Structure 1
Amino acid sequence: MSLVNIDKAIRLPAPDVEALIQGRMIAAIVWRMFNPGEQYALYPVDNSNMLLIKPKQISLFPELEQLELHLILDKVSIKAWARCELCQMVNDCESLEALSRLTIWKTEALQQIILEKPYIYVAYLRVYLLPQPLEISVQSSGNFVSLPKSLTVTDSTPVLSESIFAKRRQQLEKLEPPEHPELEELQSALVHLSATNPKAKQLDAKIKMFLGWSKKSPTTRLDPDLGWIKTIAQIGNSSDGNTFEKLVRKSFIKLGFANSNNKPEASLDPESTGGAGGLDFYCETPYQVVGECKATKSETVADGTPAQLIKLGHKHLQEQYNCCIKIIMAAGQLNRHAKQTAIGNHMNVIRPETLQKLVELKAKQPGSIDLLQLKPCLEQQPFGEEADAKVNRYIDEVREKLKVRSHIVQLVKDFLERTKSTSVEFNQLHGAYAFSMSPQPLKYEEMHQILIELSSPLTGYLGRIKGEDLGPDRFYFLRDLQLDD
């Protein structure tokens, strides 16, 4: 971290300043050749008064079209400062089109500038946030604005990390096309939803992270369902059977099971439990599951509970019952007769604590539970109370897989920070993994498949540069994969 003195601000169109602060672009159009090392605060102005450029009329970022400069008592708010890293001249049509794809500027606007000037000067800016906004009086003219007093700031709050900025700079220098234009369009569509929809805001933040427009992982919002999820074991170990049945139904829905059956006797609707004579829960997809719940405070579970499941299963599901995976959710120990009935009829006996662990993992790591991988745990021996151990082993396996993936993401992050590189070749990464404190050894192809998974747009923990001419892929860091202990 170093101290920096700033005594001037550069006037730029407000949409440009906003895009720079958000990390959407790393460039500014300036009126002369800037020297590397020049550093200024960023002063946003009403772009209608700027000679250079206006935002795109048809843009990947339509919200910038309506961006207004908010004046408070004739003052302008300055939120960031920037250091020039490079300045280039651009003037040919092909370069203008490529530059437009990498910025918020429309090609036609860039062409208009070329009609008036021989070159467009594009300054590459490394942007840093100020610890708090600075309000200064409105200045109506001039390319620079003198600050009321010199600011002493640090470079500890960059908008983009060093590795992400280096990659973006390389992309801009070579005028390479955007890697994911479809995601940019999706992000644009989410902007207006983000203001009122928390899920859209979270997805918007993740997409920005994946696109390299942000260096920080989006703030992880706790799943609001964790409130009731954390009560499953407590209610299961009580005498409140009705509430426990509702929680079990909600749990199966949370895990991804569903039921289109409107019959209350064979339903999954938490608000319409089976009641006397009805099944406690029944799932149709992705495979059939039927079950009985037994909340108990201290007593053992009698033979009546598994017998009830057999009786009601045949009554309401008839021939479909034999195709179902059968589960008894019970806190208490089964007595000898109940054990024999459960094992003999291939029933899984699962404790409320285990169900809570499974659903809690799903809530904290939404993509971690694969119901088709869980299925063999429920349809193979051993049955009875030993089945609880099968589900716990599955949970442990999922957690181990997450640890490996989290370790790989951290390995990429640490390698790039240590080497000051923009990306790491797979062969280098495989070697680094072998000598790291890894959770488990991985074969060459196995690790490559995990890296492909982590760099998918649907996960977005890493970015991938596909190898050319069968050369090795390269990967770069996007966001942390955080795990709860």
Structure 2
Amino acid sequence: MSYSVFVDTALQLPAPDVEALIEGRVIAAMPRIFIEPGRSFALYPANISINLLPHEQYYRSSFLPIAKNALAQLNSETVLIKAWARCELCQILNDPESLEALSQLTVWTTEALQQTLLQRRYIFVTHLRVYLLPQPLEMPVQSSGNFVSLPKSLTVTDATPVLSDTIFAKRRQQLEKLEPPEHPELEELQSAIALLSTTNPKAKQLDTEIKIFLGWSENSPTAKPDPDLAWISAIAQIGNSSDGNTFEKLVRKSFVKLGFANSNTNPKASLNPESTGGAGGLDFYCETPYPVAGECKASKHESVRNNVTAQLIHLGLTHLGQDRFDRSVKIILAAGPLTNPANQAAIGSKMNVIRPETLQKLVELKAKQPGSIDLLQLKPCLEQQPFGEEADAKVNRYIDDVREKLKVRSYIVQLVKDFLERTRSENVELNQLHGAYSMSKPPKQLSREELHEMLVELSSPLTGYAGRIKGENLGRDRFYFLRDLLLDD
């Protein structure tokens, strides 16, 4: 349940520091005075001139581009206040040996902290729980004072915290004990990517994912659906029409979307979605991660005759040669039923007959859960019996298996989240979590080792749904929640 707070003052901090707090990059500020825990105030981004060193020396190199951008946005007449904060703790540091550790957990250089300590004799490190305002407040610039009066009092709520309770508690403990950051190399990578994220959508997505993994934010903003879903949703419809040319292009786009590729410039054995094989050419051909040769046959109302299987063999041998064709997975994308001779020929030639609806389901799954389709795991499915029309069922079983695995992993992530919220803990030991999992109603029973394997997978930098603290043995590994694994029903 959210609560309301009355705020009538703002704490002046350097504009880059405020930006780092709003991003969730840090939870600490360095005011000139001691701030009582429990006090609430708005965050006022001030000019950098209040600092002791040039900003190139004051801020760590990984944060410097963001600091410069925050300074460039300052206005000489007005200031924009975007957040308010509550002081949770105010540490007093006067130990030079602790400054390097503090620097690693913040955006300030060790040199900046040393200069501050020389001038002030001690440093106030204020732990701030930051909340976004529903609407930014614009006010005239005020150049002096630690706290400034707001032009009008604000009644704010804690409905929009920058960090969740669990993540903030973990970050606060880390700062209070001056524990080293867990992934400094990822922080460097994030800073480099941040420069590209304003113009490159893929860089922006990766930037968001790294921030979530680092604990700088909990969830992605409402994810925009993959724009490719517009054409993906038409695969079955076009496959069941008489528009064979468009269907062939959609099939090529589908295989590219799934992760197949082809550097072959020969238009007769290509995967270029903007062209087709044309007369005498294969409808599609993939080179990597393994060769796939295929033919497309649109129209639900026409039976697929034996000449389609014969054509795939003839064109495959013509453009690929015996050895490459023999090594290729062979697929016929067909909406209509195969005649009995055609189906027997497909079985004898180890050809998979797949319906447009099944291809659409496969590609939709890839678009909605990008890491879900492993082409190397799909390969045995396509290379093993059954072939012919029965192959469609085995591909559907593969899709169902992937969905089931996603369901189990989503359940585990939610279990970690719920356990921590219920117990008000920062992390949970594997042994505890396995007990909670077994006592719940999971989609699939798992041994402790199986659960551990999935949690390690979910806490890898490439997924970032959970975090992991290694213990002295498997059962002592501890895990914490980072972000939801949402599934599309």
> Structure 1 residues 57 and 167, CA, compared in 2 at 3 Å: closer, same or farther?
closer
TM-score (structure 1 length as normaliser): 0.96
Paired position in structure 2 for 1:10: 11
Deviation at 1:217, TM superposition (A): 2.4
> Structure 1 residues 262 and 148, CA, compared in 2 at 3 Å: closer, same or farther?
closer
- 2: CA distance, partners of 1:331 / 1:411: 42
Whether the 8 Å contact between 1:236 and 1:295 is mirrored in structure 2 is yes
Paired position in structure 2 for 1:482: 486
Whether the 8 Å contact between 1:244 and 1:293 is mirrored in structure 2 is yes
Paired position in structure 1 for 2:298: 295
2:354 is aligned with 1:350? yes
Structure 1 residues 326-345: aligned runs within 5 Å: 326-345=330-349
- 2: CA distance, partners of 1:65 / 1:313: 58
Paired position in structure 2 for 1:279: 282
Structure 1 residues 152-231: aligned runs within 5 Å: 152-231=155-234
Paired position in structure 1 for 2:314: 311
For residue 383 of structure 1, give the secondary structure of its aligned residue in structure 2: coil
2:48 is aligned with 1:59? no
For residue 440 of structure 1, give the secondary structure of its aligned residue in structure 2: coil
- 2: CA distance, partners of 1:369 / 1:415: 30
Paired position in structure 2 for 1:444: 448
Deviation at 1:337, TM superposition (A): 1.5
> Structure 1 residues 465 and 162, CA, compared in 2 at 3 Å: closer, same or farther?
same
- When the two structures are aligned, how many residues end up with a matched partner? 485
Deviation at 1:261, TM superposition (A): 2.0
- 2: CA distance, partners of 1:49 / 1:471: 50
- 2: CA distance, partners of 1:264 / 1:69: 51
Deviation at 1:318, TM superposition (A): 2.3
Deviation at 1:72, TM superposition (A): 5.7
2:39 is aligned with 1:38? yes
Deviation at 1:419, TM superposition (A): 1.3
- 2: CA distance, partners of 1:75 / 1:68: 13
Paired position in structure 1 for 2:465: 461
- 2: CA distance, partners of 1:484 / 1:425: 29
- Larger mean CA deviation between 348-357 and 223-232 belongs to 223-232
For residue 422 of structure 1, give the secondary structure of its aligned residue in structure 2: coil
2:148 is aligned with 1:127? no
Deviation at 1:315, TM superposition (A): 2.0
Deviation at 1:471, TM superposition (A): 5.9
- 1: CA distance, partners of 2:238 / 2:218: 42
User: Cα deviation per residue 1:221-272 (whole Å; 9 max; x = unaligned)?
Assistant: 3222212111111111011111111111111111111222222222222223
- 2: CA distance, partners of 1:42 / 1:218: 23
- Larger mean CA deviation between 334-343 and 182-191 belongs to 334-343
Paired position in structure 1 for 2:366: 362
- 1: CA distance, partners of 2:60 / 2:79: 28
- Larger mean CA deviation between 219-228 and 299-308 belongs to 219-228
Whether the 8 Å contact between 1:6 and 1:152 is mirrored in structure 2 is yes
For residue 68 of structure 1, give the secondary structure of its aligned residue in structure 2: helix
Match of 1:456, as an amino acid? S
Match of 2:405, as an amino acid? K
Paired position in structure 2 for 1:433: 437
Paired position in structure 2 for 1:79: 82
Whether the 8 Å contact between 1:128 and 1:159 is mirrored in structure 2 is yes
Match of 2:246, as an amino acid? T
User: Cα deviation per residue 1:186-229 (whole Å; 9 max; x = unaligned)?
Assistant: 11001121111111111111111111111222432322221211
Match of 1:39, as an amino acid? S
Match of 1:355, as an amino acid? L
Deviation at 1:127, TM superposition (A): 0.8
Deviation at 1:34, TM superposition (A): 2.0
- 1: CA distance, partners of 2:457 / 2:158: 34
Match of 2:232, as an amino acid? I
Paired position in structure 2 for 1:243: 246
2:104 is aligned with 1:98? no
Q: Percent identity?
A: 72
- 1: CA distance, partners of 2:282 / 2:251: 12
For residue 43 of structure 2, give the secondary structure of its aligned residue in structure 1: strand
Deviation at 1:73, TM superposition (A): 7.8
- Larger mean CA deviation between 102-111 and 334-343 belongs to 334-343
Paired position in structure 2 for 1:420: 424
Whether the 8 Å contact between 2:52 and 2:112 is mirrored in structure 1 is no
Whether the 8 Å contact between 1:257 and 1:283 is mirrored in structure 2 is yes
- 2: CA distance, partners of 1:258 / 1:70: 43
Match of 2:43, as an amino acid? L
Whether the 8 Å contact between 2:48 and 2:71 is mirrored in structure 1 is no
Whether the 8 Å contact between 1:45 and 1:69 is mirrored in structure 2 is no
Deviation at 1:50, TM superposition (A): 4.4
- 1: CA distance, partners of 2:223 / 2:200: 15
For residue 422 of structure 2, give the secondary structure of its aligned residue in structure 1: helix
For residue 336 of structure 2, give the secondary structure of its aligned residue in structure 1: coil
Deviation at 1:51, TM superposition (A): 5.8
- 2: CA distance, partners of 1:38 / 1:405: 41
Match of 1:154, as an amino acid? T
- Larger mean CA deviation between 242-251 and 55-64 belongs to 55-64
Deviation at 1:357, TM superposition (A): 0.5
- 2: CA distance, partners of 1:168 / 1:324: 52
Deviation at 1:19, TM superposition (A): 0.7
Moved over 6 A (4+): none
User: Cα deviation per residue 1:28-72 (whole Å; 9 max; x = unaligned)?
Assistant: 112232221111111111021346995735421122331226456
Deviation at 1:317, TM superposition (A): 2.0
- 2: CA distance, partners of 1:250 / 1:149: 56
- 2: CA distance, partners of 1:396 / 1:322: 29
Query: What root-mean-square deviation, in Å, do the aligned CA atoms of Structure 1 and Structure 2 show?
Result: 1.7
